[in-house]
């Protein structure tokens, strides 16, 4: 099959392109190639490239900035996804759209399944949830994939890095590092998301999926494995979210359960700690 990866040079897009090219013909599309807020541009690009599947990783995901520029965030995360869904529907192209654990409010305090009702707390999460609905309701052949705490070998262009690169930088520059221990998630490498996406698109089981590593941890526990594996000597201490100014409302528990992947028998996601150690051993 021919696949088009939108956001091909990004953190997730890079691994999708590399993993999927082993099995498919992959076209990488970046912002200079396609503008998802322009439906005519989408139609022209997809008409000329003729992919069987479009994988959309493009997003406005700087959470504090989305609060300041909600129209811009919705234009990309909401309307942009609607445009893609409409064109993919018209051209009988399958669509894979990536979303976020932030669509939940964290009050459940147990892993969220695809059956749980979202309640996004901030602008970014609201716009991503609208994108989910647009993808699922305007494209009959769409997969919406929620991910959590992602990191990869290519730094996030918009954020200038990821949690791992930030921790290593702080360990070099600061006399001590403090990381919150009361915000719980499941860190997940983009490589494993790409590998499980490859399994998902071999099926015609369209719909909503959670795709994160197994288990859960606090950001402090996440940092602790980085310290231990890389043998960093800078003191690392736990902190509370209350110790930092809360710029944006966030869920303090956003662990995802891969219920539907398990039901399909294609859940390949490893334990978060094993995945992190593997990444640190090979990429850092």
**Which residues are part of the catalytic machinery?**
124
- The answer to whether 95 and 46 have CB atoms below 8 angstroms apart is no
Beta bridge partners of 208: 144
């Amino acid at each position: 099959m021919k696949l088009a990866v939108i956001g091909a040079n990004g953190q997730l897009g890079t691994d999708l392109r590399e993993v999927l090219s082993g099995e498919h013909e992959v076209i990488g599309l970046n912002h200079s190639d396609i503008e998802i807020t322009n439906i005519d541009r989408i139609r022209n690009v997809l008409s000329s490239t003729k992919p069987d599947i479009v994988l959309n990783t493009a997003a406005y995901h700087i959470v504090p900035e989305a609060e300041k520029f909600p129209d811009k965030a919705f234009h990309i995360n909401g309307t942009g996804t609607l445009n893609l869904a409409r064109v993919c529907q018209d051209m009988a192209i399958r669509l894979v759209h990536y979303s976020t654990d932030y669509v939940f409010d964290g009050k459940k305090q147990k892993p969220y399944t695809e059956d749980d009702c979202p309640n996004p707390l901030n602008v970014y999460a609201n716009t991503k949830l609208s994108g989910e609905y647009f993808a699922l309701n305007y494209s009959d052949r769409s997969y919406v994939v929620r991910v959590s705490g992602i990191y990869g070998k290519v730094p996030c262009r918009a954020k200038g890095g990821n949690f791992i690169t930030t921790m290593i930088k702080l360990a070099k520059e600061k006399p001590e590092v403090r990381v919150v221990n009361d915000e719980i998630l499941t860190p997940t490498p983009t490589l494993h998301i790409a590998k499980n996406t490859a399994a998902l698109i071999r099926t015609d089981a369209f719909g909503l999926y959670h795709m994160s590593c197994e288990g859960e941890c606090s950001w402090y526990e996440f940092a602790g494995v980085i310290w231990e594996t890389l043998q960093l000597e800078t003191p690392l201490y736990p902190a509370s979210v209350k110790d930092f100014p809360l710029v944006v409302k966030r869920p303090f528990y956003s662990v995802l359960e891969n219920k539907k992947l398990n039901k399909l028998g294609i859940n390949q996601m490893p334990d978060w700690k094993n995945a992190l150690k593997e990444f640190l051993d090979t990429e850092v």
